[in-house]
Amino acid sequence: MNEKIRFRRDFHMSNKSAIPFNKPFKIGNELENIQKAIEWGHLSGGGKFSEAAESFFRKKFGVKNAVLTSSCTDALEMVALLLNIQPGDEIIAPSFAFVSTVNPFVMRGAKIVFADSCDNHPNINVETIQELITPKTRAIICIHYSGMACDVERLLEICKENNIHLIEDAAHAIDATWKGSQYLGTFGSFGTFSFHETKNIISGEGGMLCVNDEQFFERADIIVEKGTNRRSFFRGETSKYEWVDIGSSFRASELTAAFLMAQLIEKEKILKKRILLWNLYYENLSELASSGCFSLPQIPENASNNGHIFYLVLNSESDRIQLIKALADENILAVFHYQSLHKSPFYKGKHDNRPLPNADRFSSCLLRLPLFYELDEAGVNRICHCIESFFKG
């Protein structure tokens, strides 16, 4: 039987109270906001709540221009269009990543040049990037994994030296900073965020494209409106509403925006709770980590922690499989994360055969533990007790 299916079966069959991996939550005026949107009679994108969410990102995070999208994937697809990616262009990206990070560029015909992770963190190893750049390189994509910053200063140096763009996949990284002073998603030409139900701030689905390079402001407004000058028309800047470029239906609905705004307003409360749970995991599991059972997350130098993901790095894939099973037996659902994209069925024949050992190690050994707003301290303690029993049993 497929291991994943068997673990899920065991998880649901147990008589013990379940701790899911994730649980979407309502924290404020989500339903009230949705009712207001209905009463106001504007349910498609671009209404008052959409404008409020975009304004929130500009004012709170220092984003130059923000566009609310249906998903982070849509935001990245917009980036590929804004950069006019063509067949033969090259994009450098981490192999330890979700497929949405690179799919928009593959769809435009780009070649993905995969980079390895750091030894001690799943983030892209910035020191390996320079050797991957060729005259065909158009951009570097970095993922701020678990909401912890890559070395954005060095990435920007590399991009400027080579006249290429930095794209920040900040899906995990809302409210996270570099050196405590500048928010992630504001360093690169583009930053993209996710409000998927597994993220810190949620709206079911949803994303935000942050455009930090002024040369792309006007075209971003057009691409998000299906290639029309609709935004300019409604601002009174043009006399006709016309098709002027390529684009698609990337906008989030006003219902999504209404739900999202209720969460953004409660951002501090949400993150405070998640960081508390993250720290409790770390404290409870430090003794086992010190004894060599696994490694705990390391916060990179100059990075902050927004409490998005708590993970263990086991010593082997076998250890991970057995620990997932042991937790499932206690009705606790823990999951592994990304699988190395350079070894994926779709891309392994296109990769240049460079070994990427750190990406492979995280793919085989990283285990995500439950972390969601409604998880309480007793739940974390129970999970940690089960892990301790597994290793000491």
Domain that holds residue 351: 3-23+267-392
Q: Which two tokens stand for residue 49?
A: 């709540």
pLDDT at 20 over 90: yes
Q: What is the pLDDT at residue 376?
A: 98
| Section 366-379 average pLDDT | 98
259 within 8 A of 204, measured Cβ to Cβ? yes
Query: Kind of pairing, strands 207-211 and 65-69?
Result: antiparallel
Where in 322-387 does DSSP place strands (E)? 335-336, 366-368
Is the pLDDT at 94 greater than 50? The verdict is: yes
Convert the pLDDT of each residue in 337-358 to its tens digit: 999 999 999 999 999 999 999 9
The verdict on 189 and 306 lying in the same domain is: no
Instruction: Please tell me whether residues 320 and 307 are part of one structural domain.
Output: yes
CA distance 311 to 140: 26
pLDDT category at 266 given cuts 50, 70, 90 is very high
**pLDDT class of 1 with cuts at 50, 70, 90:** very low
Which CATH number belongs to the domain containing residue 124 in this structure? 3.40.640.10
Backbone angles phi, psi at 210, to 5 degrees: -105, 120
Nearest alpha carbon to residue 208 among 240, 179, 186, 235: 186
Judge contact between 155 and 142, C-beta under 8 A: yes
Same domain assignment for residues 261 and 313: no
What's the total number of domains in the chain?
Answer: 2
State yes or no: pLDDT of 106 exceeds 50: yes
Q: What is the pLDDT of residue 347?
A: 95
Place of tokens 């917009």: 78
- What would you report as the CA-atom Rg of the chain, rounded to the nearest whole angstrom? 21
* Residues 196, 125 within the same domain: yes
* pTM listed for this prediction: 0.94
Last residue within a domain, chosen from 234, 265, 296 = 265
- Residues 371, 256 share a domain: no
pLDDT: which is higher, 4 or 313: 313
d(CA 380, CA 9): 22
Of the ranges 48-57, 146-155, 230-239, which one carries the lowest mean pLDDT score?
A: 230-239
> Percent of the chain beyond pLDDT 90?
92
**Contact between residue 151 and residue 184 where contact means Cβ atoms under 8 Å apart:** no
- pLDDT of the residue at 239: 78
Q: Which amino acid is at 20?
A: P
- Say whether both 236 and 297 belong to one domain: no
155-171 pLDDT, tens digit per residue, is 999 999 999 999 999 99
The predicted pLDDT at position 241 comes to 86
Instruction: Render pLDDT for 201-253 as a digit per residue (tens, 0 to 9).
Output: 999 999 999 999 999 999 999 999 999 988 777 777 887 889 999 999 999 99
Q: Which of 227, 245, 265 delimits the end of a domain? A: 265
**Look-up: residue for tokens 């707003």?**
373
Mean pLDDT of 303-328: 98
Interatomic CA distance for residues 69 and 88, integer angstroms: 28
| N-term to C-term CA, the chain | 26
Domain end point (choices 232, 248, 265)? 265
pLDDT band at 13 (very low <50, low <70, confident <90, very high): very low
> How far is Cα 82 from Cα 65, in angstroms, rounded to an integer?
14
Q: What is the mean pLDDT of residues 144-156?
A: 98
Q: How confident is the model at residue 308 (pLDDT cuts 50, 70, 90)?
A: very high
Say which CATH number the domain at 353 has: 3.90.1150.10
Supply the DSSP symbol for 142.
E
pLDDT, residue 234, reads: 74
User: Does one domain contain both 116 and 234?
Assistant: yes
Q: Edge-to-edge, what's the strand order for the sheet holding 294-295?
A: 294-295, 311-314, 366-368, 335-336
Question: What confidence score (pLDDT) does residue 3 get?
Answer: 45
Could you tell me if 51 and 173 lie in one domain?
yes
> Do 183 and 199 share a domain, yes or no?
yes
Residues 271, 232 within the same domain? no
139 and 93 together in one domain: yes
* pLDDT score of 15: 58
pLDDT of 9 over the 90 cut: no
pLDDT at residue 11 tops 80: no
Q: Are residues 202 and 181 in the same domain?
A: yes
Question: In a 10 Å sphere around its CB, with 0-12 CB exposed, 13-18 middle and 19+ buried, how is residue 116 labelled?
Answer: buried
> What's the pLDDT at 6?
45
Instruction: Give the DSSP H/E element, type plus range, for residue 386.
Output: helix 377-392
- The mean pLDDT value of the chain amounts to 95
